[in-house]
Homo-oligomer: A and B are copies of this chain.
Amino acid sequence: MANHLDALFAALSDPTRRAVIERLTTGSAPVSELYAPHEMALPSFLKHLGKLEAAGLVRSEKVGRVRMVHIEALPIAEAEEWLKRQRRLWEGRLDRLSALAENIEKDSHDG
C-alpha cells in the first residue's frame, strides 16, 4: 500500500478492529483481555491486532508471557485531519458559490 493512509483507513474498516481501538481509549490492555469479547479463534484475532499495529494505530510489548497493547494517538489524528481537510475544502467551495450567487443577485439589480 503506497500511502500510509491506505493502511490506516483499511485498519479502521473492520468492526473487530474498531472495537479494539474503542477499548484501548480507556487504557492499555493485554492481548487476552482485548480478545475476550470477540467470538473468533485467537489466531484470527491476532491477525486483526497485527493490522492495527502495522497501521501504526497500536503498539505492544511483551512483559513476561503477556503482551500489553496500547493505542497510538498520532495516526488517528492524521486520519481525522485528512477528513477535516476534505470537509473544509468542500465547505469552502459552498461559501464561494453562495458569495458568487450574491454577486450575481447584486449585478442583476445594478445592471
Minimum distance in angstroms from A62 CB to a CB of chain B: 23
Which residues does chain B contribute within 8 Å of A93, judged by CB atoms?
25-27
The yes or no answer to A77 lying at the interface (CB within 8 A) is yes
Q: How many residues of A contact B (CB 8 A)?
A: 34
Minimum distance in angstroms from A72 CB to a CB of chain B: 10
Minimum distance in angstroms from A66 CB to a CB of chain B: 21
Copies in the complex: 2
Main SS class of interface, A: helix
Contacting residue for A87 out of B6, B15, B80, CB 8 A: B80
Which residues does chain B contribute within 8 Å of A26, judged by CB atoms?
89, 93
Which residues does chain B contribute within 8 Å of A83, judged by CB atoms?
76, 79-80, 83
